Amino acid sequence: MAMEVTQILLNAQSVDSSVRNHAEESLRQFQEQNLPSFLLSLSGELSNDEKPVESRKLAGLILKNALDAKEQHRKIELVQRWLSLDASTKSHIKSSLLKTLNSVAQEARSTASQVVAKVAAIELPHKQWPELIVTLLSNIHQQPAHSKQATLETLGYLCEEVSPEVIDQEQVNKILTAVVQGMNSAETNNEVRLAATRALYNALGFAQANFSNDMERDYIMRVVCESTLSPEVKIRQAAFECLVAIASSYYDKLSPYISDIFNITAKAVKEDDEPVALQAIEFWSSICDEEIDILEEYGSEFTGDSEIPCFYFAKKALPVLVPMLLETLLKQEEDQDQDEGAWNISMAGGTCLGLVARTVRDDIVPLVVPFVEENISKPEWRQREAATYAFGSILEGPSPDKLIRLVDSALSFMLNALITDPNNHVKDTTAWTLGRVFEFLHGSTVETPIINQANIPQIINVLLQSMKDVPNVAEKACGALYFLAQGYEDIDSPSSPLTQYFQEIVQSLLAVTRREDAGESRLRTAAYEALNEVVRSSTDETGPMVLQLVPLIMMELHNTLEGGLKLSSDEREKQNELQGLLCGCLQVMIQKLGSSDVTKYVFLQFADQMMGLFLKVFGSRSATAHEEAMLVIGALAYAMSSDFAKYMPEFHKYLEIGLQNFEDYQVCAITVGVVGDVCRAIEDKILPYCDGIMTQLLKDLSSNQLHRSVKPPIFSCFGDIALAIGENFEKYLMYAMPMLQGAAELSVHTSAVDDDMIEYTNLLRNGILEAYSGIFQGFKGSPKTQLLLSYVPHVLQFLDNLYMEKDMDEVVSKTAIGVLGDLADTLGPNAGPLIQQSVSCKEFLNECLSSDDHLVKESAEWAKLAIGKAISF
């Protein structure tokens, strides 16, 4: 076989598809028949310097794919499969891999280094292959350059794959020493230096202790800064990437180096190649990200201050940083607005300027205004555009007081420019800037309104006219209209300033959606989004007009459902996108019209037809369209309440299909939410469909393919169903309760180290508790409550454990103490003695009673009342 393998691997890359297919089939059979021997021959192929590089590369790639996969469940399978191979096979493969790192063929080395990292990612957490790092580093100084490069690259991949707690500090020190030495100017080989610099980027996550040590940190920083001056552009770029990563991971350690870094970045922004300059700007954007977060925490009332102090780097650098960024704004590329993937120095600079404004707030205004004034009327479009962009960038951050007068005087200039400026780029940025003005300086929270009776006619007129401009400009005009409408969302009066323009705005937006070029620059999406916001912010006055819009949008949706067979896959994709937008639009209208009795009863006349259309949307294959159709049906169910029951004979199967959509888990998640909507809408009329729904929900919970974020809502959904069908939930108890108990036990102890895991654990707990709450309340007053008694000790134990863990958030506390009340309320004196034995009914209850959070307090007061009743007999 060994001889054959080379040929098969080469054939698998043949241009002749029949040869290729045959080869792939042989590989598959080989793998299925004898996995160890298959893996062994691949690693043999990879390590054999006499083989062609093409077959060696593919051998490495197949090996890599045999160790890891994107999908979580597949990944777990592969890990288990590797771990269960016999030791001698594994050790043979591993030594072949390590041997390949010394190969003269660069591509073989590079492939091998990735496979080594994958094996390490599996084995190191299981305390296997402990000698790996020592072996890699054992004689690195004696190695020829190409081996040294491969070793450093391997360390880089390894740090990327393995989590920091798996490697002990002693080994981390060794890795960092080797990497930093590889970056040092004493190293003459550029390939080695590049590999070392890139490896450092990944190793930074392991360097917590080293960054706390002044000497070690000084040394690392010096080497990184020196590397930014390397004559080799790739090394400079990689070094700046390290600086960017350091800015976010070690912000609090940067003080001693920041002025040097400023000089380095300023020089790079001014004169270096674009890839390097972009990273240099990104450094300051990252600094701003950090400071915005810290200052936000300073500002919030609960924590008082942040763990990390703010060093105000952006503020201190301001007088030099801002001019540097303003300069970049003048380096626009032609037509960058039409190119979705564009990213250049002026875009990066402008984005950074916006972040600086959010960081330093008022202080930026006097530094930017002169630039705006000087350039806004220049004959060169680059200057006008840069001035407008600069102005738009500083609208978020500074206090409205600082901006209102400026904006007031600039508003009519911009409105004029949007129509008359000869340059599309300038118009695009002007419309965007107007949108920012409306987003940040218009609305109920702004004291001095910049939009008034005198200027609103012109504003509307200009925006509607601009919506007929080229797609990228029209799209920004739609965006501006979106924020204009949003500013009236919280309006306190029954009449909105937009009322008299409502008809005209809606017609213009509909006209945009029908433009032939509406597919460009996401113009159609922007128009429907603006329409949604205009409807959302409308008042009862325009209810009748929104009503008229319903059949129109229904007709559009109907049209998308015709002739689906003739479409190309590209056209079908667009069609599905449109269906999603139209469902979204109807969702907004249903919510609007459903909130007022007057319009609700009229629009519900359309309900049957609407539902018919939504069900047809499920015929498409697009996840987005399914999701939107589900969402709008949820809104309809809420608006119709018990009348919605008539659609269930047809609709329930789509619920079940949605619940089986593991792949597009968003669809599954939304469907779970809609099951809740339907439960509340039709209550016990959902009973005939519960078997199907519960079956799917239980399957979802036991699946390891489904994204974990869907599981907490499924538990909550159990509660919704139980509350709707009351004691009829009896037959699901024997399935649901063990699942709840199992999940409860797992969720008590947060082995969680990171914030994401803590947040997820709390979501899970909340879902479980909501399920218990719904089940207890559902059985209230039923003669079958005694069925619940056997579960009480576990529920109380869960509550006690949660209390003792001391890491619940407010939401969980509220739900948990509520469950205690529900249990007492439904079971009464039967559960009295058990409740009295629990810690929860004393300490936990008292803590909640004195909580500052009024929802927690409310639940606790209620629980106290119910418990008082249950134990007073």
Partner 1 sequence: MAPHELRRPFKRPAISDQQKRRDLSLIRQEKNRLDAQRHARFLASTVLSLQPPADSEIITDSNPSPEQEFELVEEGIEALELDVRQAAKLKGTEARRWFAKQLMLPEWMIDIPDRLCHDWYVLARPAGKRCFVVSSNGTTVSRLRNGTLLHRFPSSLPSGARNKGNSSSQSYCILDCIFHELDQTYYVTDMVCWAGFSLYECTAEFRFFWLNSKLVETGACDPPSVYHKHRFSLPTVYNCDQAGLHASYTQPTSYVKDGLLFYNKHAHYQTGNTPLALVWKDANCSQYVIDTDSKGQILDQQQVVLALQENGKLTTSDEPPVEFGCLDMEFIQKSGLQTGDLLKFSVSDRGLCFTDGKLEKADIQFISKSNRARAFADSFSKIMFQHMVRHSPLQIEDLFASITSSAVKDKEVTDEEMAD
From 98, 774, 851, 856, residue interacting with partner 1 (rule: CB under 8 A): 774
> By CB under 8 A, is residue 813 in contact with partner 1?
no
Quickly list DSSP for 169-222. HHHHHHHHHHHHHHHSTT---HHHHHHHHHHHHHHGGG-HHHHHSHHHHHHHHH
From 129, 250, 312, 638, residue interacting with partner 1 (rule: CB under 8 A): 638
Pick out residues in 491-550 that bind partner 1 (CB under 8 A). Answer: 492-494, 528-529, 532-533
CA distance 140 to 134: 10
> By CB under 8 A, is residue 562 in contact with partner 1?
no
Closer of 212 and 595 to partner 1 (Cβ): 595
> By CB under 8 A, is residue 244 in contact with partner 1?
yes
Q: In angstroms, give the least distance from the CB of 332 to partner 1.
A: 12
From 490, 650, 745, 843, residue interacting with partner 1 (rule: CB under 8 A): 490
From 54, 160, 327, 810, residue interacting with partner 1 (rule: CB under 8 A): 160
Q: In angstroms, give the least distance from the CB of 29 to partner 1.
A: 34
Closer of 9 and 640 to partner 1 (Cβ): 640
From 123, 161, 290, 720, residue interacting with partner 1 (rule: CB under 8 A): 720
> By CB under 8 A, is residue 670 in contact with partner 1?
yes
CA distance 382 to 198: 36
From 130, 793, 829, 833, residue interacting with partner 1 (rule: CB under 8 A): 829
Q: In angstroms, give the least distance from the CB of 48 to partner 1.
A: 25
From 115, 238, 261, 589, residue interacting with partner 1 (rule: CB under 8 A): 238
> By CB under 8 A, is residue 36 in contact with partner 1?
no
Nearest to 67 by CA among 50, 79, 56: 79
The secondary structure of residue 333, as a DSSP letter, is P
CA distance 798 to 791: 11
Q: In angstroms, give the least distance from the CB of 198 to partner 1.
A: 5
Burial 61-91 (b: 16+ CB within 10 A, else e): bbbbebbbeeeeeeeeebbeebeeeeeebbe
Element (H, E) at 637: helix 623-640
Q: Using DSSP, state whether 799 is helix, strand or coil.
A: helix
From 317, 518, 631, 682, residue interacting with partner 1 (rule: CB under 8 A): 631
Q: In angstroms, give the least distance from the CB of 494 to partner 1.
A: 6
Q: Which residues contact 316 (CB under 8 A, 6 or more apart)?
A: 258
From 30, 38, 82, 201, residue interacting with partner 1 (rule: CB under 8 A): 201
Closer of 508 and 587 to partner 1 (Cβ): 587
From 397, 658, 676, 767, residue interacting with partner 1 (rule: CB under 8 A): 676
CA distance 674 to 533: 23
Pick out residues in 450-489 that bind partner 1 (CB under 8 A). Answer: 476, 479, 482-483
Closer of 291 and 428 to partner 1 (Cβ): 428
Q: Mask 688-717, x = binds partner 1 (CB under 8 A)?
A: ----------------------------x-
Closer of 151 and 587 to partner 1 (Cβ): 587
Q: At what angle do helices 623-640 and 648-659 cross, to 10 degrees?
A: 140
> By CB under 8 A, is residue 232 in contact with partner 1?
no
Q: In angstroms, give the least distance from the CB of 340 to partner 1.
A: 10
Asked whether the beta carbons of 418 and 466 are under 8 A apart, the reply is yes
Q: In angstroms, give the least distance from the CB of 422 to partner 1.
A: 20
Q: In angstroms, give the least distance from the CB of 627 to partner 1.
A: 8
Q: At what angle do helices 106-123 and 72-83 cross, to 10 degrees?
A: 90
Closer of 5 and 866 to partner 1 (Cβ): 866
CA distance 720 to 242: 50
CA distance 78 to 67: 6
Closer of 6 and 202 to partner 1 (Cβ): 202
Q: Scanning the structure block, which residue is given the tokens 């209620």?
A: 862
> By CB under 8 A, is residue 560 in contact with partner 1?
no
Closer of 47 and 624 to partner 1 (Cβ): 624
From 291, 473, 821, 856, residue interacting with partner 1 (rule: CB under 8 A): 821
Compute the CA torsion angle 144, 146, 147, 151 (nearest 10 deg).
130
Q: Which pairs count as long-range contacts for 728-733, CB under 8 Å and 24+ apart, including other chains? A: 728/684, 728/687, 728/690, 729/775, 729/778, 729/779, 730/784, 730/787, 732/690, 732/694, 733/775, 733/787, 733/788, 733/791
Asked whether the beta carbons of 813 and 805 are under 8 A apart, the reply is no
Nearest to 535 by CA among 543, 525, 527, 526: 543
Q: In angstroms, give the least distance from the CB of 873 to partner 1.
A: 9
Phi, psi of 850 (to 5 degrees): -100, 20
Token pair in block for residue 332 = 């626009």
Closer of 23 and 866 to partner 1 (Cβ): 866
Pick out residues in 571-610 that bind partner 1 (CB under 8 A). Answer: 580, 584, 587-588, 591, 595-597, 600
Binding segment for partner 1 (CB under 8 A), chosen from 125-133, 318-326, 633-641, 701-709, is 633-641
Quickly list DSSP for 672-741. HHHHHHHHHHHGGGGGGGHHHHHHHHHHHHH-SSS-GGGHHHHHHHHHHHHHHHGGGGHHHHHHHHHHHH
> By CB under 8 A, is residue 862 in contact with partner 1?
yes
Q: In angstroms, give the least distance from the CB of 832 to partner 1.
A: 10
Pick out residues in 302-361 that bind partner 1 (CB under 8 A). Answer: 337, 343, 347-348, 350-351
Q: Mask 731-770, x = binds partner 1 (CB under 8 A)?
A: ---------------------------------------x
Q: In angstroms, give the least distance from the CB of 858 to partner 1.
A: 6
From 288, 778, 812, 820, residue interacting with partner 1 (rule: CB under 8 A): 778
Q: In angstroms, give the least distance from the CB of 30 to partner 1.
A: 31
Closer of 48 and 620 to partner 1 (Cβ): 620
Pick out residues in 255-284 that bind partner 1 (CB under 8 A). Answer: 275, 278-279, 282
Number of residues that bind partner 1 (CB under 8 A): 88
Number of other CB atoms surrounding residue 301 within 10 Å? 5
Asked whether the beta carbons of 357 and 393 are under 8 A apart, the reply is yes
CA distance 88 to 83: 12
> By CB under 8 A, is residue 635 in contact with partner 1?
yes
Closer of 398 and 634 to partner 1 (Cβ): 634
